[in-house]
Structure 1
Amino acid sequence: MANSKYEYVKAFEQPDILLPNTWIVVRIDGRGFHKLSDRYAFKKPNDRRALDLMNAAAVEVLKDLSDLVIAYGVSDEYSFVFHPTCDLFDRRSAKLVTTIVSTFTAHYIYQWGNYFQDTPLQSPYLPSFDGRAVMYPTTKNMRDYMSWRQVDCHINNLYNTTFWTMVLQGGMSNTDAERELKGTVSADKNEILFKMFGINYNNEDEMLKKGSVVFRQYQLEEVKSDPKTVQGQEEEGTSVPEKVSKSQQEKIRRLRRKAQVVVEHVDIIKDDFWQQRPWILSGKPGKLPVRA
């Protein structure tokens, strides 16, 4: 770019480089999705089409950004995780966030017709998302964040399932259902569902209870006998990842692109998930599954 007298305005730009050797989680949320879901008549308490669309968009983001190691989604939110060794965009927060938000939104809109075939998008009711980046200094912090989102998924889904069952099947008003559920715990809601409506919450769809986990699939590893040790994570979660050169990073990206990106609805709170998939915490690709 040629120099000019106007170039001084570059001095107003503020650095936004995220700390090195930290996990980066970019969490996106739907903007105004209550109005959007009403406009396009999303089913209550969960619309499988909307959830499948969210997952499809997330899969495309992981395919497009090989630096991502895992993502977790529920309702109208998704969390995308970069490994501590990631140097994409020199770890500039704005670049990482805007790239994920724009890529996700583009695929969400592009694939809308695949899931809402009889309900085309119309202006001004168009989906959009916001995002933010958060750094986590240890693997334990990152895993605790993911556990928090999954626990939140269960709590919210149990409440919403009970609430909308009372309204849609029980004929209660929204106000009466809210009053009935005020102060209840999980056991109370399970009892309401079973005794009043014959619904066993344990038999509900796993995606609704656990959310969606998106990652690259390699050959699963055996669970280690010592549950305190997970590859890529010390017990205290304070290990510093080794420095990875630019050429090594590019090699890892190429290997990651060869792996299939999958969506599963599993427990990510216990160690088993991470032990069977050590490539997520190590940041190093595993062995591709043997195809029959």
Structure 2
Amino acid sequence: MLWSRAGGARKPAWVLRRLGRVLGGAGGSMAKSSYEYVRQFEADDTCLHNCWIVVRLDGRSFHRFVEQHNFTKPNDDRALQLMNKCAQTVMLELKDITIAYGQSDEYSFVFNKKTHWFKRRASKFMSHVVSQFAASYVFYWKDYFSDQPLLYPPGFDGRVILYPSNQNLMDYLKWRQADCHINNLYNTVFWALVHQGGLTKAQAQERLRGTLSSDKNEILFSEFNINYNNEPLMYRKGTILVWQKVNEIATKQINSEKEVKQTPSKVTSLHCDIIGQQFWKEHPEILDDS
């Protein structure tokens, strides 16, 4: 009787031939099977070429998560720094990310226009970013919340958006920073009215109904002696993560004969305005799709 080895186990050759016929292989080959047709049901989610790919993730049911883990209101430095750490981890894993922007429980990651990561499949971009971020959140939790146990794993959802032009991309990031300002100003006044003004949450909400930014600034200054412009930039502007060159030269060995000198980069946190043009003039490399 003829015998053959497969997977470390001795199997008769006729068994292998029969398996090959059952699985649809030619000549006993098991490289393909008759079941492969199911791949045809996969949707084609390839992102359009020459478009900026943005993956934005948000905390799922984070209002409840914040309450149960005793976050400081209106801003918790530990939570914001943890979010930034997770985003840095994602950028170090996926170096085709040119810039990331975060505020509160959300983060946006911008991939280079010409990236070919994951064959530009949207589902791959989203699942990898969200899973890497969520895993990092759990992994680094104890480094920022040493006195607060993690009661249950947090959840994050994600979406993929394509922007065809540099202006579209800049407007998106400016929109997110404007959203940060609007939300943080409201929350700063709201919690001042609750913590220092003695109002209930419902009363504070009613007090702020219909107010403009100037009204909120006036309440903070006149009633609580708080100048909103003096609040930390991370609260008011959010966090921008970019690649910056390090002042050192690293040598990379390509082969036994050739060495290439490289200037390494690191992920750097910035807390500044990106709505004006100054930031974009100082960082032209962000929009360089080469």
For 2:245 and 2:276, locate their aligned partners in 1 and report how far apart those are by CA, in whole Å: 19
Distance 1:257 1:38, change over 3 A: farther
CA shift, 1:197, in A, is 0.6
CA shift, 1:274, in A, is 1.4
1:267 aligns with 2:273: yes
Partner of residue 40 from structure 1, selected from 69, 72, 78: 69
CA contact 1:66–1:256 (8 Å) conserved in 2: no
CA contact 1:66–1:257 (8 Å) conserved in 2: no
Distance 1:96 1:282, change over 3 A: same
Q: Which residue of 2 aligns with 1:26?
A: 55
Secondary structure at 1:78 match in 2: strand
CA shift, 1:11, in A, is 1.1
Alignment of 1:1-292 (within 5 A): 2-122=31-151, 125-218=152-245, 258-283=264-289
CA shift, 1:257, in A, is 9.2
Distance 1:81 1:2, change over 3 A: same
Residue 150 of structure 1 aligns to which amino acid in structure 2? Q
Distance 1:148 1:24, change over 3 A: same
For 1:281 and 1:85, locate their aligned partners in 2 and report how far apart those are by CA, in whole Å: 11
Please identify runs of 4+ aligned residues in structure 1 that moved more than 6 A. 254-257
Q: Deviations over 1:23-71 (max 9, x none)?
A: 1110000011111111110011111100000001101111111100000
**TM-score, normalized by length of structure 2?**
0.83
Residue 262 of structure 1 aligns to which amino acid in structure 2? T
CA contact 2:245–2:263 (8 Å) conserved in 1: no
For 2:128 and 2:209, locate their aligned partners in 1 and report how far apart those are by CA, in whole Å: 40
**TM-score, normalized by length of structure 1?**
0.82
Specify which structure has the higher proportion of strand.
2
Distance 1:149 1:33, change over 3 A: same
Q: Which residue of 1 aligns with 2:20?
A: none
Moved more, 3-12 or 207-216: 3-12
CA shift, 1:256, in A, is 9.5
For 1:159 and 1:6, locate their aligned partners in 2 and report how far apart those are by CA, in whole Å: 56
For 2:194 and 2:261, locate their aligned partners in 1 and report how far apart those are by CA, in whole Å: 50
Secondary structure at 2:272 match in 1: coil
Q: Percent identity?
A: 51
For 2:88 and 2:225, locate their aligned partners in 1 and report how far apart those are by CA, in whole Å: 36
For 1:17 and 1:52, locate their aligned partners in 2 and report how far apart those are by CA, in whole Å: 33
Unaligned segments of structure 2, at least 5 residues:
1-29, 247-259
CA contact 2:245–2:264 (8 Å) conserved in 1: no
Unaligned segments of structure 1, at least 5 residues:
220-253, 285-292
Residue 51 of structure 2 aligns to which amino acid in structure 1? T
Count of equivalent residues: 249
Q: Which residue of 2 aligns with 1:239?
A: none
CA contact 2:100–2:241 (8 Å) conserved in 1: yes
Residue 280 of structure 2 aligns to which amino acid in structure 1? W
Greater relative contact order (Cα 8 A, min sep 6): structure 1 or 2?
A: 1
CA contact 1:36–1:126 (8 Å) conserved in 2: no
Secondary structure at 1:41 match in 2: coil
For 2:33 and 2:167, locate their aligned partners in 1 and report how far apart those are by CA, in whole Å: 49
CA shift, 1:218, in A, is 3.1
Greater gyration radius: 2
